[in-house]
Homo-oligomer: A and B are copies of this chain.
Amino acid sequence: MARNLARILGGCGSLVPFMKTPACPPRNSSSIPPARTLVQMLFSKSRDFSLPNSSWGEEMMRLYEFYNGQSDVETEGEENQGREWKRLPSYNRSLKYATGGVYLSKIIQSKARLFTRNIREPGAAFEYVLFINKEKERCVCVFQAGHLLEGPPGHVHGGAIATMIDTVTGTHASAISAPVMTANLNIDYRSPIPLGSTVLIESTLEKTEGRKLYISCKVTSTDGSKRHTDATALFVSISVAHLLKG
Chain A residues 98-119 with CB under 8 Å of chain B are: 98-105, 107-109, 111-116, 118-119
Asked whether A99 lies within 8 Å of B182 as measured between CB atoms, the reply is: no
Residues from chain B with a CB closer than 8 A to the CB of A172 are none
Whether A194 pairs with B3 at a CB distance below 8 angstroms is: no
A13 on the interface (CB 8 Å rule)? no
A45 to B125 CA separation, bound complex (whole angstroms): 24
Chain B contacts of A69 at CB under 8 A? Answer: none
Docked CA distance A12–B246 (Å): 47
Q: How distant is A230 from chain B, measured CB to nearest CB, in Å?
A: 10
- Is there an interface contact between B152 and A157, defined as CB atoms closer than 8 Å? no
- With beta carbons under 8 angstroms apart, the residue of B103, B105, B107, B112 that contacts A150 is B112
Residue A89, interface by CB 8 Å: no
Please pick, from B100, B107, B154, B196, the residue contacting A152 in the complex, using a CB distance under 8 A.
B100
Residue A95, interface by CB 8 Å: yes
Residue in B7, B100, B163 whose beta carbon sits within 8 Å of that of A162 in the complex: B163
Chain A interface bracket (under 10, 10 to 19, 20 to 34, 35 or more):
35 or more
CA distance A12 to B152 in the complex (A): 12
- CB neighbours (8 Å) of A192 from chain B are 1, 100
Please indicate which of the listed interface residues A7, A94, A114, A152 has the most CB atoms of chain B within 10 Å of its own CB.
A152
A94 in contact with B153 (CB, 8 Å): yes
Chain A residues close to B by CB (< 8 Å) = 1-4, 7-8, 10-11, 94-105, 107-109, 111-116, 118-119, 124-125, 147-160, 162-167, 170, 181-189, 191-192, 194-196, 246
